[in-house]
Structure 1
Amino acid sequence: MDASTHAADLAMMHGYLKLRRSDLLGKLDGLGEYEVRRPLTASGTNLLGLVKHVASVELGYFGEVFGRPRRELPWLAEGAPDDADMWAAADESRASIVELHHHSAELSDATIEELGWDARGEVPWWPPERRAVTLQQILTHMCVETARHAGHADILRELIDGSIGQRPDDPNIPSRTVSELAAHVARVEEAARAAAAR
């Protein structure tokens, strides 16, 4: 591949990462402090924790991996409680976590734009045989990581207030009345029961 193809691919993937970041952060919109923090799964998954986690991970992958300066995060320090990056303590403000998300994105964007597709890095927390990486690998990894957690956030937001899709006018979501939605859910339930009865 020539340099212009690499540049186009890099720009495309970077664009996808930016969109998925926005999708994830948007899931906090319109919710109160309790709703964004409350655990909604048996493992404690919550919306603000997902934003905190993705921002923290992105700082590591686009900062430490490529030897670039990054903010030290107390919840990732030696001796921090397990999964401290997956939830917000009462004294951690929502604004500070959103600011961390923006800071992480800015640092990552600068790394992507300044270093380029073939830049070499090392992931110290990966197995030795996989530690040597390129920016292309890390950008791919973070697109997948961010999309995965944005999907988690989609489900959590639906559990909180029924909101679905990336935004209120999302063209990928069928417009249904309450009764049409109930009928759809009933069809899905009926199909599941029929399949289980076979």
Structure 2
Amino acid sequence: MTSVVGTAGEKRILVAALEEQRQAVLWKLEDLDDERLRQPLVPSGTSLLGIAKHLASVENGWFGRTFGRANEEVPDESLAEDPHAEWRIHPWETTAGVLAYYARARAASDAVVADLKLTDRGTDRHGAAVSLRWVLVHMVQETARHAGHADVLRELLDGRTGERPAS
């Protein structure tokens, strides 16, 4: 984040922090073929493309469902049948399709953030009231956590490390 953002208002700082983590995740997916993006490298079956799918579903849920907006979250019924549904990349899902899903989720989330104040409240999936501020902080944490996972997976694939391209 630049120094201008570092002295901006709270909402702008939170949005910039989330976007920085989103870009770190996307950078980890760059320059890899479909096979490598789908390749699970840890016993849980996590893949780089699975991380993007999970983050898209989570953004849809926290920004869309919580604030009563239309969203493309992986349905609860799918998760009841397969708890890893939002992580699993099915043979019929394309890399372009998953990346488009993540792009739509980010755009929809950004629209919610633009429409609301940090103090506006929504209801989480368990019925608890949460503010937009809380959701933004939570999504910065969630995305950063998975950016770290992506960093490890990418290093295992081809040795690339770091949080962004070298300047």
Mapping of residues 11-160 of structure 1, within 5 Å? 11-71=12-72, 73=74, 77=78, 79-125=80-126, 131-160=128-157
List structure 1 runs of 4+ shifted beyond 3 angstroms: 72-80
Write out per-residue CA displacement over residues 94-139 of structure 1, whole angstroms, 9 at most, x where no aligned residue: 11110011100011001111111011111123xx5xx111000000
1:86 is matched by which residue type in structure 2?
W
1:161 is matched by which residue type in structure 2?
D
Higher relative contact order (CA 8 A, sep 6+): 2
Write out per-residue CA displacement over residues 25-74 of structure 1, whole angstroms, 9 at most, x where no aligned residue: 11111111111111111111110000000110000000000111112535
Partner of 1:181 in structure 2? none
1:164 is matched by which residue type in structure 2?
T
Q: Where in structure 1 are there 5+ consecutive unaligned residues?
A: 1-6, 171-198
Bigger shift: residues 81-90 or 145-154: 81-90
| RMSD of aligned Cα (Å) | 1.7
Q: CA deviation at 1:80?
A: 3.7
1:138 is matched by which residue type in structure 2?
V
2:57 is matched by which residue type in structure 1?
S
2:156 is matched by which residue type in structure 1?
L
Q: CA deviation at 1:158?
A: 0.2
Contact 1:116 / 1:135 at 8 angstroms: preserved in 2? yes
When residues 77 and 134 of structure 1 are mapped into structure 2, their CA distance, relative to the original with a 3 A threshold, is same
Aligned residues between the structures: 160
Contact 1:56 / 1:104 at 8 angstroms: preserved in 2? yes
Q: TM-score, normalised by structure 2?
A: 0.89
Percentage identity across aligned positions? 40
Instruction: Mark the structure with the bigger radius of gyration.
Output: 1
SS in 2 for 1:86: coil
Q: Where in structure 2 are there 5+ consecutive unaligned residues?
A: 1-7
When residues 75 and 90 of structure 1 are mapped into structure 2, their CA distance, relative to the original with a 3 A threshold, is farther
When residues 79 and 144 of structure 1 are mapped into structure 2, their CA distance, relative to the original with a 3 A threshold, is closer
C-alpha distance in 2 between matches for 1:76 and 1:150: 27
